[in-house]
Amino acid sequence: MAALKSSPPSMRASSPEFESPPLILPSPGKLAFVNVRGDNAVRLERWRRRRRFGLFCGPAVNLRFSPSIKSVNDYASVSVAVNDKNVLVCVCNFDANDALVIHFGMSGKNVHQLYAIGKSTNITWHKSSVEKLDRQELLKQKGCAIWITGLSGSGKSTLACALSRGLHSRGKLSYVLDGDNIRHGLNSDLSFQAEDRAENIRRIGEVAKLFADSGIICIASLISPYRIDRDACRSLLPEGDFIEVYLDVPLEVCESRDPKGLYKLARAGKIKGFTGIDDPYEPPLKCEIVLQQKGKDVLPLCEMVETVISYLEEKGFLQA
């Protein structure tokens, strides 16, 4: 079979922004990999916003795209019938260096797709005979992730525990992923430097996704100061299953509470990069629920819990 060019029509090898050697298709059952890298960040970002990628092997039939890519870590698979016996499989995603990675492989009519996700290669997804809908029917509820964000001292953990208790009293199963608690185990290897904070949120997002898929109402409670990290977690779940709850409490109120004494240490310069003091907090722009405290008027905890539970009832999460 002829060589497969590694550049789609708008990314030809003649373009100075993209270059990659031609790919020779392997024998059936084998995989080959090719990277299409670009130095033109503007053009590459435009490709990412399009969320779609095309094949460029000439005439093809039965071209099928998977759901479009929604985040940097997502992938889309494309299958093209080459002849009666073989199918060309293509998987596209962006790597950590913002490079478009395209993976090709050949297989028989029953396509067995192998993926390269992050640093994991030659992996496949095993479908379970018990799916999310089955688990939700068993639990009589729908899984979701409630993401409580706000400054330190805003009351995130208090709300999360009270919300879990409120759901429990209604016969609904939930689980709290508290930012500090997770650092006692799963994320104990992470510091509070920028890269580790992002990884801390990514891991919790992935765990929340698993809980939601199991049919459980997952309540994640952590500062998560940057929008890009929260949005990345949102993209992991189906639309509507990520419920962002913003505890909008003024900094001076949070600092006056200072339940852990961290603001005092930050003001004294003993803690660097503390959110709200010498590191920014980016409030959500389009969150599902805002619980706002004006001045020193504290919202009753039971009222905040009822607000969230009412939202869950309205959106149908408290029944299968």
Classified by CATH at the fold level, domain 132-314 comes out as Rossmann fold (3.40.50)
More confident residue, 320 or 154: 154
Strands 115-117 and 120-123: antiparallel
224 is catalytic: yes
Domain-by-domain residue ranges, the chain? Answer: 9-123, 132-314
- Output the pTM of the full model: 0.68
Which residues make beta-bridge pairs with 81?
Answer: 61, 87
Which range, 20-34, 120-134, 164-178, 273-287, has the best average confidence (pLDDT)?
164-178
Distance between CA atoms of 187 and 178, rounded to whole angstroms? 11
Cα dihedral across residues 288, 154, 144, 236: positive or negative: positive
**Average confidence (pLDDT) over 175-185:** 97
**pLDDT for 70 beyond 90:** no
Q: What is the mean pLDDT of the chain?
A: 74
Q: Which candidate in 27, 120, 224, 310 is catalytic?
A: 224
9: Cα within 13 Å, side-chain hemisphere: 3
Confidence band, pLDDT 50/70/90 cuts, at residue 231: very high
Q: What is the DSSP letter of 236?
A: T
Rg, C-alpha atoms of the chain:
23
**Average confidence (pLDDT) over 189-201:** 92
- Residue 288's pLDDT is 98
**pLDDT for 89 beyond 60:** no
Nearest to 99 by CA among 146, 150, 34: 34
Q: Read off the pLDDT of residues 105-143 as tens digits, 9 standing for 90 and up.
A: 444 444 445 566 667 777 777 889 999 999 999 999 999
- Residue 191's pLDDT is 92
**pLDDT for 41 beyond 50:** no
